[in-house]
Amino acid sequence: MSIETKQKIIAIVGQTASGKSDIAVNIALFIKKNAKKFKTRGAEIISADSRQVYKHLNIGSNKITKKEMCGIKHHLLDVASPKKIFSASQYQKLSQKSINKIIRENKIPVVCGGTGFYVDALIYGTIFPKVKPNLKLRRKLEKISVKELFEILKQKDPNRAENIDSKNKRRLIRALEINILTGKPIINLKKDSKFQTLWIGLSADKSTIKEKISKRLEKRLNKGLINEVKNLHQKYNLSWKKLESFGLEYRFVAQFLEKKITKEKMKEMIISESAKYAKRQMTWFNRNKDIIWINSKQKIFNLIKKFIKN
């Protein structure tokens, strides 16, 4: 497929707390405003976030609100029950369905998110091995500590280890299960994408990101983060173990509510682990040499104008 016949899409990626959702909405509004000039009917956003897919995980996942959407349609939010496991393979199927619908309506898809594994699954068409659960192997892996599981995964599949929650035992076991049973890494990217993609990356230095993470946490706590986690446990019957599996805010707020850690320790751990996650995100995205790292809104609009018109 020649580059001229490929469908154009825009991908907004970057670290946690870098402002991706706001920029994505601004981009969609810019395209909508210039729809006639761009010969399109506007734009819609496809979220690429491994926690925002779940219903009821709102404050802790920083899910965009209806007001913040500014009338722009968003896809892949609230599509899964938090009681069930939602895989990258499921994300790929649903997001491809959404992107096809957006294209049929002569609109431009804007993929937005920090879960690099999800973004690549959609844009490059990651091939996921069909591996059925192996209970005997799982029981064996269950006996190994989380730290050791992560170290084993780093040796066997370093690419997957870059973008996995290193403290999520369930995900680590599944990644190793696939690797051991197939003898291959999980990630198998097609060399060519069926899309012509404008990759825009939002970045900031380490200290700025940490400061943003800290301020964002205070905002989330004021909005009722602790009550959200409490309700997920009491109202929606999610176990503490399940809540911890969602990582970051959910893990440490759950531990606080279980009285395993103090409130101060909870805040300290959320900030520290979020900063480590931001670093892992950058490691993942830095492999993609097509990403244009930029933070000026006007420069982003200029890039989009040129991309759509050419």
For 76, 82, 94, 173, 200, the CA distances from 86, given in Å and listed in that order, are 12, 8, 11, 15, 27
Give pLDDT, residue 289. Answer: 94
Question: What confidence tier does 190 reach under pLDDT thresholds 50, 70, 90?
Answer: low
Give pLDDT, residue 3. Answer: 54
Burial of 71 (0-12, 13-18, 19+ CB in 10 A): exposed
90-103: pLDDT as tens digits:
999 999 999 999 99
Q: Picking from 43-47, 148-152, 187-191, 286-290, which range would have the lowest pLDDT averaged per residue?
A: 187-191
Tell me if 256 sits within 8 A of 270, measured CB to CB.
no
Q: What mean pLDDT value characterizes the chain?
A: 92
Domain spans, the chain:
7-128+190-205+282-309, 135-182, 206-281
Q: Is the pLDDT of residue 115 over 80?
A: yes
Which residues, 6+ apart, have CB-to-CB distance to 133 below 8 Å? 177
Q: What's the rounded Cα separation, in Å, for the pair 162 and 293?
A: 20
Give the CA angle between residues 248, 109, 283 to the nearest 5°. Answer: 40
Give pLDDT, residue 4. Answer: 55
Instruction: Pick the closest to residue 41 from 51, 50, 33 (CA basis).
Output: 33
How many CA atoms lie less than 13 Å away from 180 in the CB half-sphere?
17
Tokens standing for residue 107: 């609109």
Q: What is the mean pLDDT of residues 68-83?
A: 97
CATH class of 7-128+190-205+282-309: alpha beta
Q: Is the pLDDT of residue 2 over 60?
A: no
Alpha-carbon torsion angle 137, 139, 143, 148, nearest 10 = 30
How many CA atoms lie less than 13 Å away from 94 in the CB half-sphere?
18
Q: Is the pLDDT of residue 191 over 60?
A: no
Q: What is the mean pLDDT of residues 206-216?
A: 93
Give pLDDT, residue 158. Answer: 87
Q: Is the pLDDT of residue 1 over 60?
A: no
Q: What's the rounded Cα separation, in Å, for the pair 7 and 103?
A: 8
- DSSP for residue 65: P
242-252: pLDDT as tens digits:
999 999 999 99
Q: What's the rounded Cα separation, in Å, for the pair 84 and 137?
A: 21
| Fold (topology level) of 206-281 | Helix Hairpins (1.10.287)
Q: What is the mean pLDDT of residues 46-50?
A: 97
Question: What confidence tier does 225 reach under pLDDT thresholds 50, 70, 90?
Answer: very high
Tell me if 190 sits within 8 A of 92, measured CB to CB.
no
